[in-house]
């Protein structure tokens, strides 16, 4: 009996540790204990009352408490695009006692919102500074009403929502209305921004609020490269959690490159067997499928990129052993500068029919693990013509089929690669999802093939979306828009988060990321910040991405006319919220500047 009691105590202790914020990672940012009260000044700054007796200003017990309703948008990140009215009063409540009511037209959408409720409670309890349990708790009743059964998440999804908080003498009523589950999910994220810890037990929430909101752009993404340096699933899930906290909705998974091919392709196991760094550095098909489900519950699409024809080497080298010829050429060639942009080299062989067959098998796997509406990113950047031009079997074959070795011929060869793969992608989707009404568009990077003098000849605007990675002052975006192409922007001198750690590149702080304005154009789907992994791994990736990616999140959600200067205090609170959720974002200013708003401008 004694042994059983000890086991019970150990299990109880383990449970308490699991749900109680620790003093390190995952704990809320605890403010200095002071008997002074915080006030929201006329300049919308949260400052300690220095006994100067500023009228009848409302006093708050912590800076986070003050920040919840100081200024028009309080602590909400990203900034709402519609009506936003926040009350000054607070309710004191126990998060374990919040009651949820879901009104949805299908079992699937009801289950989705129930999972959203679970994630919401898990997030807000991490804000507790002490014990979350509160004996005398204000009753909080949350009702979420969803209109649609549709769980599709793509560029046409309506992510809008309405959030109302109303407090009476008996209870606080939270009313969420959204056309679909994704808008409702965003509403719960906003609701979490209106909650903070207090110096005693339980939590504080704004007692009255009205928020109407919708994003300006349908594509709000983060690219993570897990080929150059492998990223464990824990780090990828943390990235997705931080994206959800930022209302971003596309995780662009650059999962393979010439360095390694860690993704399992069940139909072609040789890809991972010959391409992965080793057994510990792989993603199984089941793990990829579960990651897609994990992201979707957080309002995020997973867009998988299978790069080609360049950035493809390791994983493709088994062709000769299987009697399939060289499906890739220039693999690991030296000196690498003669064959590629970056070591190790490798480029797919566009004249090997077996390569296209294998690519089609890869597409089969990806289409099967993803939801029906999802498309694929085909890469297409940094093709090195010298690789093909210095490969005798390619140049010989080109002459045999009537090509000369001019630059135009190589561009035609390159465009044929995309055309054939697009046909394969269409066939895969038509077979797996016969109910689809029209072919899916696919995405390629900007490259020499997308130069204005070439693009219309090689890449039809109806089928290809161009992800541009040019500088902010480059005319390419405007020229492509004028030609009718749809764009995803990854401004390389603002949204390339790997810059500043290699060569002559420059580091872009959160303000630079935030101030990268995006023109409103129906053909601009949105944008992505990019974390290439040559100089980052699992030990540093979170601080490289966050909180800077959150600055782009507000730019893509609300595209505000204001600058980072007006957003900075909400941004600091946003960073603290990431910390409470177990993310390790980089610091952006000294703590003193956070506690003394207006003194470090």
Tokens at residue 337, please?
A: 């500068």
Q: Residues 311, 377, 418, 499: which is the catalytic one?
A: 311
- Please list the residues that pair with 140 across neighbouring strands: 172
- Quote the tokens at residue 485: 């192409």
Beginning with the edge strand found earlier in the chain, give each strand of the sheet holding 139-146 in spatial order: 84-86, 209-213, 161-167, 171-178, 139-146, 99-103
- Cα-Cα-Cα-Cα torsion 318, 320, 321, 322, nearest 10 degrees, comes to 90
**Distance, CA of 504 to CA of 466 (rounded, Å):** 26
Cβ neighbour number for residue 397 with a 10 Å cutoff: 16
Q: How far apart are CA 308 and CA 355, in angstroms?
A: 11
- Helices and strands: H and E segment counts in the chain: 18, 22
Task: Yes or no: say if 167 and 160 are a contact pair by the CB < 8 Å rule.
Answer: no
Is 528 known to be catalytic? no
DSSP helix/strand/coil, 365 = helix
Q: Which two structure tokens, joined as six digits, stand for 23?
A: 């003093």
Cα torsion 53, 55, 58, 61 to 10°: value is 0
The answer to whether the beta carbons of residues 465 and 418 sit under 8 Å apart is no
CA distance 72 to 206: 13
Coil, helix or strand at residue 280: coil
Of 460, 515, 465, 522, which is closest to residue 491 (Cα–Cα)? 515
Angle between helices 548-558 and 564-580 (to 10 degrees): 120
Give the whole-angstrom CA distance, residue 375 versus residue 230: 24
Q: For residue 208, what are its two tokens? A: 């009255």
Q: CA 281 to CA 262: how far, in whole Å?
A: 6
Task: Show the tokens assigned to 43.
Answer: 């300049």
**What single-letter DSSP state applies at residue 444?**
E
Asked if 116 and 188 count as a contact pair (C-beta separation under 8 A), the reply is yes
- 31, 94, 257, 307: the catalytic one is 257
Q: What is the 3-state secondary structure (H, E, C) of 302-323?
A: EEEEEEECECCCCCCCCCHHHC
Contact assessment for residue 23 and residue 580, using Cβ atoms and an 8 Å cutoff: no
**Residue 311 is a catalytic residue:** yes
Q: Which of 287, 382, 451, 537 is the catalytic position?
A: 382
What burial letters (b/e) apply to 414-442, b meaning 16+ CB within 10 Å? Answer: bbebbebbbebbbebbeeeeeeeeeebbb
- 493 neighbors 486 (Cβ within 8 angstroms): no
Whether cis (ω within 30° of 0) applies to the bond prior to 517 is: no
Alpha carbon 510 to its chain's center: 16
Q: Which ranges of 79-206 does DSSP label H, i.e. alpha helix?
A: 107-125, 181-193
Cβ neighbour number for residue 596 with a 10 Å cutoff: 15
The H or E element containing residue 511 is helix 510-514
> Residue 99 forms beta bridges with which residues?
141
Active site residue 382: yes
Question: Which residues have C-beta within 8 Å of that of residue 381, sequence separation ≥ 6?
Answer: 307, 310, 311, 444, 445, 446, 447, 469
Q: Which two tokens mark 156?
A: 């046409």
Active site residues: 257, 311, 382
């Amino acid at each position: 009996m004694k042994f059983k009691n000890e086991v019970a105590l150990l299990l109880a202790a383990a449970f308490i540790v699991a749900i109680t914020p620790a003093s390190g990672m995952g704990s809320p940012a605890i403010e200095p204990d002071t008997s002074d009260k915080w006030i929201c000044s006329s300049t919308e700054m949260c400052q300690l009352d220095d006994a100067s007796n500023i009228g009848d200003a409302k006093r708050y017990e912590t800076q986070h408490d003050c920040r919840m309703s100081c200024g028009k948008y309080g602590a909400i990140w990203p900034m709402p695009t519609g009506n936003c009215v926040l009350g000054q009063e607070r309710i004191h409540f126990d998060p374990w006692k919040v009651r949820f009511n879901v009104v949805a037209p299908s079992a699937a959408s009801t289950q989705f919102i129930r999972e959203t409720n679970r994630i919401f409670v898990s997030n807000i309890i991490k804000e507790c500074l002490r014990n979350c349990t509160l004996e005398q708790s204000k009753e909080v009743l949350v009702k979420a009403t969803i209109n649609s059964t549709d769980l599709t998440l793509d560029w046409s999804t309506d992510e809008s929502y309405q959030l109302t908080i109303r407090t009476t003498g008996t209870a606080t009523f939270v009313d969420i209305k959204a056309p679909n589950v994704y808008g409702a999910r965003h509403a719960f994220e906003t609701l979490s921004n209106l909650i903070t810890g207090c110096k005693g037990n339980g939590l504080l929430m704004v007692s009255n609020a009205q928020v109407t909101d919708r994003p300006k752009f349908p594509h709000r993404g983060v690219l993570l490269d897990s080929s150059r340096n492998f990223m464990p699933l824990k780090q990828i899930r943390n990235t997705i959690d931080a994206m959800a906290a930022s209302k971003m909705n596309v995780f662009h998974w650059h999962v393979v490159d010439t360095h390694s091919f860690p993704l399992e392709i069940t139909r072609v196991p040789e890809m991972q067997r010959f391409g992965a760094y080793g057994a510990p550095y792989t993603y199984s098909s089941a793990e990829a499928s579960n990651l897609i489900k994990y992201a979707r519950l957080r309002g995020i699409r997973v867009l998988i990129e299978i790069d080609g024809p360049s950035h493809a080497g390791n994983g493709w080298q088994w062709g000769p052993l299987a009697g399939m010829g060289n499906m890739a050429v220039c693999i690991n060639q030296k000196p690498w500068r003669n064959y590629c942009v970056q070591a190790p080299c490798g480029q797919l062989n566009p004249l090997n029919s077996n390569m296209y067959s294998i690519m089609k098998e890869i597409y089969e796997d990806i289409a099967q693990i993803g939801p029906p509406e999802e498309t694929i990113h085909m890469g297409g950047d940094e093709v090195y013509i010298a690789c093909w031009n210095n490969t005798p079997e390619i140049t010989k074959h080109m002459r045999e089929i009537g090509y000369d070795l001019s630059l135009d011929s190589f561009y035609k060869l390159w465009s044929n690669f995309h055309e054939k793969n697009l046909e394969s992608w269409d066939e895969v989707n038509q077979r797996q999802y016969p109910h689809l009404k029209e072919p899916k568009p696919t995405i390629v990077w900007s490259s020499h093939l997308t130069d204005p003098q070439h693009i219309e000849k090689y890449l039809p605007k109806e089928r290809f979306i161009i992800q541009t990675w040019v500088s902010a002052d480059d005319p390419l975006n405007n020229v492509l828009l004028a030609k009718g192409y749809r764009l995803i922007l990854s401004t390389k001198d603002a949204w390339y988060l790997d810059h500043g750690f290699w060569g002559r590149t420059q580091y872009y702080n959160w303000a630079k990321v935030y101030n990268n304005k995006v023109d409103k154009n129906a053909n601009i789907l949105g944008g992505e910040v990019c974390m290439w992994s040559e100089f980052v791994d699992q030990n540093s990736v979170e601080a490289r991405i966050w909180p800077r990616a959150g600055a782009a999140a507000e730019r893509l959600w609300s595209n505000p006319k204001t600058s980072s200067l007006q957003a900075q205090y909400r941004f600091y609170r946003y960073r603290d919220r990431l910390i409470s959720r177990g993310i390790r974002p980089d610091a952006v200013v000294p703590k003193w500047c956070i506690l003394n708003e207006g003194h470090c401008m």
